[in-house]
Amino acid sequence: MHGNVTAMSATPPAPLLHATGLVADYGGPAVLRGVDLALTPGAGPVGVLGESGAGKSTLVRALRGRVRPRSGHVTFEGRAVSRLGRRETRRFRAAVRVVAQSGLDADPRWSVERAVTSALADARKAGRTSGRTTRDLLDAVALEPRFEARTVGSLSGGEKQRLALALALATRPDVLLLDEPLTAVDPSMRGAVADRLAAEVAEHGTAVLLVSHDVELVRRLCGRVHVLADGTFVASGPLADVLRPAEDAHPAVRGLADAVPQVAQRIR
C-alpha cells in the first residue's frame, strides 16, 4: 500500500495549458505548423525565442483562444479552449493571463493604486482572492511605493509594462503568457524586474510562457527554451544546449547563437 502511495505521489502533474499539433493562420498560409507545447504549474518557465514574424505572438493568441486552430488543439484542464462554456471561459480568463508588449488595460486617468485595487477586486469576484496588497504587487515588479499616487497616463512605457505585470499577478494566475513583456523597461532595470518575477512565479508555482527575442531575459527566467522558425519548433532544450548548435542545426538556431555570443559564453 505504501509503495502505491509513493508511486502515486511521484506522478508528475498534468499540463494545465496544452497545445498539440497546433496549426494556426489568419485565413492565409499557416503561421504555426504543428506546434506541441505543455505548460505545467511548478515546472518552471518555458521560453520561446524567434525572430520578428516567426509566429511568437500568434502562439500566445492561440493559447489564449484568440486564434482558432486550423488543426490540432489547445486544451485547458483537458478541455478544448475553443469549446469552453460561459462559466469555464470566465475561469479560464482569470486563470490564464496575458501580458503583451503594449497591453496595459487601465484607465490612464486612474492612479496606479486604483488600477491595482480594481484588479484585486476583479480577482475576488472571480474567486481568486490572493491576500495581496497593492504594495506587494508593485514590489513584485520593482515599482516603489511612490508610484501608487501616480496616474497611469503619466507612467513611462517601461513603467506601464511593469504595471501590466502587477495587474496580471493580482488574479493569482495559474498561467502567465508573456509576449515581449519588458521591451520598454530600461535595460538597467530589466534584470531586477526579471529576477523579482522569477521569484514570484517560483513561490506560487505559476506556469509561465515567455516569448521574446531577448535572449538575456529568457536566460534569466527560463530553464527550457524552444526556437520558433518556419512555423514550428526547430530546437528545444536548456538554453546552453540550444546556443551550442550542431553542424546540421536549423539556420535560425545558428543565427541566434551567432547574434548573442556574450550570452552564449556566459552560460557555457
* Nearest-angstrom CA–CA distance, 11 and 28: 42
Maximum separation of any 2 CA atoms in the chain, in Å: 62
Sequence-distant (≥ 6) Cβ neighbours of residue 13 within 8 angstroms: 40, 41, 42, 43
Domains of the chain: 13-267 (3.40.50.300)
* Nearest-angstrom CA–CA distance, 145 and 163: 12
Q: Which residues of the chain have pLDDT under 50?
A: 1-2, 5-9
Residues forming beta bridges with residue 19, ordered by sequence position: 37, 74
Distances (CA, A) of 152 to 103, 117, 121, 262: 13, 13, 18, 36
In 3D space, the residue among 29, 35, 30, 41 whose CA is nearest the CA of residue 73 turns out to be 35
Q: What is the pLDDT of residue 4?
A: 52
Q: What is the pLDDT of residue 7?
A: 46
Phi first, then psi, for residue 27 (nearest 5°) are 95, -5
Q: What is the pLDDT of residue 258?
A: 82
Find cell 480577482 and name the residue.
123
* Nearest-angstrom CA–CA distance, 238 and 224: 5
Residues forming beta bridges with residue 208, ordered by sequence position: 176
